[in-house]
Amino acid sequence: MPAIGPVEAARIPTPVVRHRLDGERVLRGALLTGFALFLWLFVGYPLLQVLWRSLLDNEGQFIGVANYVRYVRTPAIAASITNSLWVSTAAMVLTVTLAFVYAYALTRTRMPWRGFFRVVAMLPIFAPSLVHGIAFVYVFGNNGILTRQTGLNVGIYGAKGIIFAETFYCFPHALLILVAALSAADARLYDAAAALGASRLRTFLTVTLPGVKYGLMSACFVVFTLVITDFGIPKVIGGKMSVMATEIYNQVIGQQNFTMGATVSVVLLIPAAIAFAVDRLVQRRQYSLVTSAAQPLAPGRSRLARALLFVYCATIAAAIVGVYGVIGVTSLVARWPYSFAFTLKHYRFDTIGGYTPLLNSLEVAALTAVAGTVLAFVGAYLVEKCRTIASGPLYVASILPVAIPGMVLGLAYIFTFNAPGSPLNRLYGTLALLVLSNLVHYFTVPFLTATTSLRQMDAEFESVGASMGVPFWKTFWRVTVPIALPSIVGIGMYFFLNAMVTLSAAVFLVAPGTELAAVAVLLMDDAGDTAQAAAMSVLIIGSGLLVRLGFWWLLRGITRRTQAWTATPSEG
């Protein structure tokens, strides 16, 4: 090799650096393309399929909005819209009211057992929605235990049953939001109110409520969306009342009338989409509420209020524990309510082929947790840290899934993955498709969690890494991931728990060999094998709780090892 002159020496390293940068750019581009392709293939394209199919007749001829006209003009079917709106609104008001007082007691008093009450209130998250309907039938049904004891029949089948069971099911979702909202309070406002001589009621109306109005609105939208898109509870306890979600189920599963299913789906997308849009607007404003000068609020000291709220929380907690107790007991006795002899026969599941559905569910949930966490975190990283023109659209596409009801997604996947001649058909009837549908259905919350956690990290890490010539994936692996590990673990758990209990998309996608536990609960209840349905519910709840405990234990270890840097001087 000839000697290199000074000029060349200065020029030579440049191509080397450029070369490595190019490699990074190619990889980054490939990842971005992959992510975009995923969102298109599993979110955008299937949704368009649903929209398109609602404009066709059953023979595939374009007929415009004729399906919608027929839908609205059939009085019986149109009634499902009114029914849906009415039960969703009622359940929303009831849930948010109950959860608000509960959250208030948890955050604004020094009531004893607060930790216990908080944990108990989370229980409904571990069960498929319809479990609450089954429990209500066991207690308040025509031959429910309470009806038998008191002789008073509340007439649980119909709107009443749907509203109450949905309230149980949605309670933790509303509570989480309201606890967060009520935790952020500025004591200075309360001091000012007291100094101005405002009464308690006035303080509550002019300080407390306005302070949490965004949280309240958020809770309302979340509950409304959950109720209007849930079909498990109306199916079990709705009696003759049909709502939009059960209507889709009947049209598709019962009659394979995909056109009408698509039409109802699109109609069902409207309230969910409005709730989603308003919620986004609300969240955007919420950030400025608590300023850096805010003082933390000291919980009130009134003994009477504390005692009343304690009784209130104890009642609700007892009711929630009661629901789970009833499910547990019915799964263990020979014939509720005629014979309370202890038996394990309902746990044999001989009518559904034993434990295969439960094992399938665990497999799907575990795969969803792993694949979902990777996808959500890498996706958030690509959108957040690799700023390109694609960032905006990708962000929107990533938060869109939350507005898609599970059943609509399931239907969309049938259209996409069971189309004649399509190469995507290989996925139809596989566990992989179930994993993918869970991934998409529950993508938004983990994506936003990951985004938030990435935003909290200084962009300096990337710049320093880049200036030291470290490729971005190394920075990602060595710095970003360890710092964000607690939220990564949380994301995994969120995916896992939801995949265990989800019914809505799965019910359209299960095939021979891919039965799932939550769907088995539905089918067993359909067939009248309620005790076995209860037994399967117990196992779903049990495995969820076990995994939750495992995660908690894991998280403690991880926090100790990777989060030492967050410790405040007083602790360290």
Per the omega criterion (within 30 degrees of 0), is the bond before 337 cis? yes
Buried b (16+ CB within 10 A) or exposed e, 327-347: bbbbbbbeebeeeeeeeeebe
Binding part of the chain for another protein, among 49-57, 166-174, 427-435, 562-570 by CB under 8 A, reads 427-435
Residue 418 touches another protein, criterion: CB under 8 A: yes
Residue 263 touches another protein, criterion: CB under 8 A: no
Segment 4-63, which members bind another protein (CB under 8 A)? 27, 30-31, 34, 38
Segment 203-222, which members bind another protein (CB under 8 A)? none
Containing H/E element for 334? strand 333-335
Kindly state the smallest distance separating residue 112's Cβ from another protein, in Å: 40
- What six digits make up the tokens of 37? 């392709």
Kindly state the smallest distance separating residue 321's Cβ from another protein, in Å: 24
Contacts of 310 (CB under 8 A, 6+ apart): 105, 111, 112, 113
Kindly state the smallest distance separating residue 185's Cβ from another protein, in Å: 41
Map residue 56 onto helix, strand or coil: strand
Among 129, 250, 263, 504, the residue binding another protein under the rule CB under 8 A is 250
Residue 2 to residue 288: CA distance in whole angstroms: 65
User: Do residues 231 and 87 touch, judged by C-beta distance below 8 A?
Assistant: no
Segment 519-558, which members bind another protein (CB under 8 A)? 523, 526-530
Residue 430 touches another protein, criterion: CB under 8 A: yes
141 versus 215: smaller Cβ distance to another protein:
141
Kindly state the smallest distance separating residue 495's Cβ from another protein, in Å: 14
Binding part of the chain for another protein, among 93-101, 274-282, 344-352, 459-467 by CB under 8 A, reads 344-352
Cα→Cα distances 516→195, 303, 353, 470, 502, Å: 60, 49, 12, 45, 9
Which one, of 485, 348, 458, 455, lies nearest residue 395 by Cα? 455
Binding part of the chain for another protein, among 112-120, 226-234, 486-494, 505-513 by CB under 8 A, reads 505-513
User: Do residues 71 and 77 touch, judged by C-beta distance below 8 A?
Assistant: yes
196 versus 511: smaller Cβ distance to another protein:
511
Residue 552 to residue 46: CA distance in whole angstroms: 36
**Binding pattern for the stretch 302-341 against another protein, x by CB under 8 A and - elsewhere:** --------------------------------xxxxxx--
Binding part of the chain for another protein, among 281-289, 422-430, 455-463, 542-550 by CB under 8 A, reads 422-430
Among 254, 325, 393, 542, the residue binding another protein under the rule CB under 8 A is 254
Kindly state the smallest distance separating residue 208's Cβ from another protein, in Å: 43
Number of H helices, E strands in the chain: 28, 2
Between the two ends of the chain, the Cα-to-Cα distance in Å is 58
Among 256, 315, 388, 456, the residue binding another protein under the rule CB under 8 A is 256
User: Do residues 470 and 393 touch, judged by C-beta distance below 8 A?
Assistant: no
Binding part of the chain for another protein, among 2-10, 464-472, 497-505, 508-516 by CB under 8 A, reads 508-516
Kindly state the smallest distance separating residue 428's Cβ from another protein, in Å: 7
Contacts of 188 (CB under 8 A, 6+ apart): 293, 294, 295
**Helical spans, DSSP H, in 109-212:** 114-121, 129-140, 145-150, 159-183, 187-195, 200-203, 209-211
Residue 511 touches another protein, criterion: CB under 8 A: yes
User: Do residues 218 and 177 touch, judged by C-beta distance below 8 A?
Assistant: yes
**Binding pattern for the stretch 346-375 against another protein, x by CB under 8 A and - elsewhere:** ----xxxx-------------x--xx--xx
- What six digits make up the tokens of 221? 């939208």
Cα→Cα distances 558→296, 365, 376, 568, Å: 29, 22, 20, 17
Kindly state the smallest distance separating residue 454's Cβ from another protein, in Å: 16
Cα→Cα distances 2→9, 110, 342, Å: 12, 81, 92
Residue 410 touches another protein, criterion: CB under 8 A: no
Among 45, 347, 428, 461, the residue binding another protein under the rule CB under 8 A is 428
Residue 253 touches another protein, criterion: CB under 8 A: yes
45 versus 428: smaller Cβ distance to another protein:
428
Kindly state the smallest distance separating residue 514's Cβ from another protein, in Å: 9
Kindly state the smallest distance separating residue 56's Cβ from another protein, in Å: 14
Among 427, 485, 489, 517, the residue binding another protein under the rule CB under 8 A is 427
- What six digits make up the tokens of 63? 């007929």
Would you tell me which residues interact with another protein (CB under 8 A)?
Answer: 27, 30-31, 34, 38, 76, 79, 137, 141-143, 157, 239-242, 250, 253-256, 258, 334-339, 350-353, 367, 370-371, 374-375, 378, 418-420, 425-432, 435, 473, 511-513, 523, 526-530
